[in-house]
Structure 1
Amino acid sequence: MAALAGVRALRRLCGVALFLSQLYVLSGRAGSLMTTKHSQPQSTFAKSLTSTSTNTPYFKVAESTEIPSYVTKCPSNGLCSRLPPDCMTCNTNYSCIYGKLATFDCKVKPHVHCVDQNNQEQENFTINMTCQFCWQLATTDYVCTNSTNCMTVSCPRQRYNATCTVRDHIHCLGNRVFPKMLYCNWTGGYKWSTALALSITLGGFGADRFYLGQWREGLGKLFSFGGLGIWTLIDVLLIGVGYVGPADGSLYI
């Protein structure tokens, strides 16, 4: 009887152990299912974040507010036909007759405001100008650079390559900045009247030659007392007609 009771107790113990093991397995599956259900929306949310972060954000490019330099030359609310050439863009008509008046269709540049004869703002207008290239203009219509390294009293008279720019109010065809060969015309600040006065009064001491920067000739006149008056008379004549000039080769002012 004791052995039979022991066998029954052992069976019960095994049954309890089997029940506990099955319960443990079932609880593990339920936990995995719950983990999967909760992790799925998180992964979806993570994917959505990832996909969004890979897209390049769109930023609207701000328009430039910088005012062009030519605007300072353009009077505001003036007549369009009287604007400087830098304030407009014109359709060039190269078929016009040289030296004759021609009409050109023009349009104001950005940031430029002008009006017509009726004080109404406009963008498109016409201008009348003489048909000629910029380098064919009169010398009073452009400004050129000066050279200080050429001789103005040489024979033949030297030329130099100058850069010329058309004045703001002048209209012409082609480039408004152009090169041009000009005669040497620079001055070092020497006055013809001063040189002549020194030659007449103190020419015997070489003052006129010293003033013009010709110190060798000045020393010669000084130590020879003006060649006993002969050099003085000759220099008065030469300076008077402009044959003797500054030693640096510049012109009198």
Structure 2
Amino acid sequence: MKAYGIVLLLITDLCFKSVYGYLSSPHVGQEAFSRDAQYSPVITNPVVPAVSSASPVEPNGDTSKCPSGGPCNRLPADCITCSYQEHKLSNCTYGRPATFTCKPNRGVHCTGGSGKQQTEFNQTITCQFCWQLDPSQYRCKNETNCMTVACPRRRYNTTCKALEHVHCLGKREFKKRLFCNWTGGYKWSTALALSITLGGFGADRFYLGQWREGLGKLFSFGGLGIWTLIDVLLIGVGYVGPADGSLYI
């Protein structure tokens, strides 16, 4: 009986090994794949969109603010390039209009009076260089390190640029030497009111950021009133200003 049992166990073990080997063989996965492939759609010769060989046009400068398709004579100055020949500049009188030949920058399209696209057009420009413009026609970088309350009044060198809609000769960015004219937000009326009412306690000097003078007035009771009267006059005429050197508003 023991011999028969051992033989039965060996036969059973061989059967399990053969079944496991069949299931784990690679042809089973291929059959399943081929069976699924019969019911799946077949894609043959896919159409790939052709890549355009033409490279995109890169505009010169910042043309994001340049309206394309509009009249050429209404383009901002940063969107066009004009040729200022010497013989035309010789006929240019300062402050008077003159006509020059201009082209839109690359990537900018504009039309003429007939509605057709133009690559060249005439533009009437006032005969003056950009650095000769009125201060309302350009913007400059403010300098906050110079003292505005000084005698003589101080100047600083800065970079200015003409506004977009302003047409002028020469470079649109230029150097200027301007007076120090920035402000820190101090009000002249507030400083004068504090000097009249609470000047004996140094409130006006504290407000202007002058802590040492404010402490001096506080502990001397406004210099027995004399310092207070002097500060009222100095602040009234604008001689005493903010400690940071800015202008009153």
TM bin (shorter chain): 0.7 to 0.9
C-alpha contact 2:101 2:123 (8 A) present in aligned 1? yes
Q: Equivalent pairs: percent with the same residue?
A: 69
Matched residue SS, 2:171: coil
Bigger helix share: 1
User: What does 1:1-253 align with in structure 2 at a 5 Å threshold?
Assistant: 62-66=54-58, 69-92=61-84, 93-95=88-90, 96-253=92-249
* 1:73 Cα deviation from its structure 2 partner: 1.6
**Farther-moved stretch of structure 1 (70-79 vs 190-199):** 70-79
What is the TM-score with the length of structure 2 in the denominator? Answer: 0.73
Alpha carbon RMSD of aligned pairs, Å? 1.8
| Rg larger in structure | 1
Matched residue SS, 2:182: coil
C-alpha contact 2:58 2:106 (8 A) present in aligned 1? no
Between the aligned partners of 1:85 and 1:68, the Cα distance in structure 2 is 13
* 1:97 Cα deviation from its structure 2 partner: 2.2
* 1:242 Cα deviation from its structure 2 partner: 0.7
Check 1:144–1:106 CA distance in 2 against 1; reply closer, same or farther (3 A cut).
same
Question: How many residues end up aligned between the 2 structures?
Answer: 194
Aligned residue in 1 for 2:6: none
Between the aligned partners of 1:202 and 1:78, the Cα distance in structure 2 is 62
Between the aligned partners of 1:67 and 1:130, the Cα distance in structure 2 is 27
Partner amino acid for 2:89?
Y
Partner amino acid for 1:94?
L
* 1:203 Cα deviation from its structure 2 partner: 1.0
* 1:79 Cα deviation from its structure 2 partner: 1.6
Partner amino acid for 2:64?
T
* 1:67 Cα deviation from its structure 2 partner: 5.1
Partner amino acid for 2:97?
L
- Runs of 4+ in structure 1 displaced over 6 angstroms? none
Q: Which runs of 5+ in 1 are unaligned?
A: 1-59
1:128-166 CA-to-partner distances (Å, cap 9, x unmatched) read 111111111111111111111111111111111110111
